[in-house]
Amino acid sequence: MTVTIYDVAREAKVSMATVSRVLNGNPNVKPDTRKKVKDVIERLDYRPNAVARGLASKKTTTVGVIIPDISNLYYSSLARGLDDIAEMYNYQVIITNTDNDPEKERDAFLSLISKQVDGIVFLGGALNDETLDDIKRSHLPVVICGTSEKDENLPSVNIDYHKAIKEASLKFFEEGAAQISFVKASYSEQLEQHIEEGLKAAYKEKGKNFRNELIFSTGEDYQSGKEIFEKLRTVESDVIITMSDETAIGILHAYMDEGFKVPADVQIISCSNTRLVNMSRPSLSSIALPLYDIGAVGMRLLTKYMKDEPIEEANVILPYKIEYRSTTK
């Protein structure tokens, strides 16, 4: 029924070992033989069974991706970069959504392990301790992108959040801002911590008084942005930094609906930079993460681990830009 390597061997009058060799580009095959085999392969429309190959070789050319929510632009932008590089290196990608649920995250990881993936990348989400243990025990190449974890000893790709937020904040202060608020969005705790520290550093450098009440936590979607507004307005900051673009737009709309002028009365900037930034009016300023690149570089890094290539730097820091659009002065 389905044609196997054995059929090809028989038709080409060689052994299956030889067929396997031409399949895998092994140079130890006489050109004549190679051609003969290739012809038969074409004629029979033979396609190697990747599962059998995986079992025999212990390599599946499949990688797992664990991500909070693929329908969120932030994550899907990361995923797209990753996928393109994966394709370039001939890897297939199994994607699993976790909604940042630790249990789903663990299940996803274990099921990827049992599928014998060659490597796994965590995109964006928080990593809980149990999973961290699983990772360690698995001895599998793992890269984390756009998120950070406690021990920081996993290969990773990020930007320097601390520096980025500090730089942006200093600029706002220098241009007259009296107070800056930060709205977290349940991304990685570790990562949001870095950002908070960056903000505090800016306060300190300017001799301004930082208060914990200036930090808010909400979801990473539009509605969460609208909802946090009532709390936000009480502190009367004149600059608001958010994690997520969607949240920022929710906040923006909430302010405008209440008669505030943006950016005259309040400035808003996100720490993301998805395609949404241009679709909002006024267009959204952001500390622009190279989302696509973070995913792409993460995947490239993973291929190096999977192929035992030398690693120059396990914790890659990518450059960021600060894009001042129309929600800032």
Please pick, from the candidates 95, 154, 170, 235, the single residue that binds a copy of itself as defined by CB under 8 A.
Answer: 95
Identify which of residues 21 and 200 has a Cβ nearer to DNA in the complex.
21
Q: Which stretch binds DNA (CB under 7 A): 31-39, 85-93, 213-221, 303-311?
A: 31-39
Q: Is 234 in the site for DNA (CB under 7 A)?
A: no
> Mask of contacts with a copy of itself, 36-75, x by CB under 8 A?
-----------xxxxxx-xx----x-x------xxxxx--
Q: Is 170 in the site for a copy of itself (CB under 8 A)?
A: no
Please pick, from the candidates 10, 20, 305, 315, the single residue that binds DNA as defined by CB under 7 A.
Answer: 20
Distance CA 68, CA 108 (A): 11
Q: In angstroms, what is the minimal distance from the CB of 60 to DNA?
A: 11
Q: In angstroms, what is the minimal distance from the CB of 69 to DNA?
A: 31
Cα 39–43–47 angle (5° rounding)? 95
Please pick, from the candidates 39, 43, 55, 92, the single residue that binds DNA as defined by CB under 7 A.
Answer: 55
* Strand runs labelled E in the chain: 62-67, 92-97, 119-123, 142-145, 156-159, 180-184, 215-217, 239-242, 267-270, 285-288, 315-318, 321-323
Q: What is the full DSSP assignment across 18-85?
A: HHHHHHTT-S-S-HHHHHHHHHHHHHHT----HHHHHHHHS--SEEEEEES-TTSHHHHHHHHHHHHH
Cα separations in angstroms, 219 against 237, 243, 263, 284: 20, 10, 23, 18
Q: Is 56 in the site for DNA (CB under 7 A)?
A: yes
Binding residues for DNA, total number by CB under 7 A: 30
How far separated are the first and last CA of the chain, in Å rounded? 69
Query: Which residues are at the interface with DNA (CB under 7 A)?
Result: 2, 4-6, 13-18, 20-21, 23-24, 27-30, 32-34, 46, 48-49, 52-53, 55-58
